[in-house]
């Protein structure tokens, strides 16, 4: 009986390797890319590419282990969730109030060490933000948040998690 269960598990493990999720392999640039609407200094651009774009753009660089299921499924779910919350490739299409909210979230989450996610940093050690990189990113997002508030005469954000 144990042998049959073992074979069944082996067949299942091998079988799921052929069920692959769609990959996020589009371009990081496009007609709604953030840089087409908002100024992004070179140092900020480097930080975004290093620590944000894998989960928050239309292109992900996949590590080898995402070819092993169910790790690949988990990773793709994670990327889809990241893009659902914030997508830098589509950012220029956001309404001013939403864009302002996303800049505020960026400030709050980077200051609170919530982004990049710890689960991402376990493997992507190069994505860890130094204190100076955090300050650069926070200053940039904060200035754009205030610029949008003034430019569009937006009311103050309702709370710290405006979406």
pLDDT at 28: 77
CA dist 25 and 51 (Å) reads 17
| 1-13: pLDDT as tens digits | 899 998 888 888 8
Least confidently predicted of 24-33, 38-47, 134-143: 24-33
Percent of the chain with pLDDT over 70: 97
Q: Please report the pLDDT score of residue 163 as a whole number.
A: 45
DSSP tally for the chain: helices H, then strands E = 7, 0
What does pTM read for this prediction? 0.87
Closest CA to 113 of 130, 125, 90, 92: 130
One DSSP character per residue, 3-54 reads HHHHHHHHHHHHHHTT--PPP-BS-S-STT-GGGTS---HHHHHHHHHHTHH
Q: For the chain, give every domain's residue range.
A: 2-151
Running DSSP on this structure, what letter comes out for residue 59? B
């Amino acid at each position: 009986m144990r042998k049959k269960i073992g074979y069944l598990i082996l067949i299942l493990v091998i079988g799921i390797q052929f069920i692959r999720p769609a990959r996020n392999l589009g371009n990081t640039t496009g007609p709604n890319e953030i840089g087409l609407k908002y100024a992004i200094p070179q140092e900020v651009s480097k930080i975004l590419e290093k620590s944000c774009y894998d989960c928050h753009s239309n292109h992900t660089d996949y590590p080898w282990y995402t070819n092993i299921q169910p790790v690949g499924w988990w990773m793709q779910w994670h990327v889809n969730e990241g893009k659902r919350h914030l997508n830098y490739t589509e950012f220029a299409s956001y309404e001013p109030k939403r864009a302002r909210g996303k800049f505020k979230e960026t400030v709050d989450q980077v200051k609170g060490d919530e982004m990049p996610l710890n689960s991402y940093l376990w493997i992507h050690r190069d994505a860890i933000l130094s204190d100076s990189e955090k300050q650069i990113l926070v200053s940039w997002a904060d200035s754009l948040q205030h610029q949008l508030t003034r430019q569009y005469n937006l009311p103050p954000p309702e709370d710290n998690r405006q979406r």
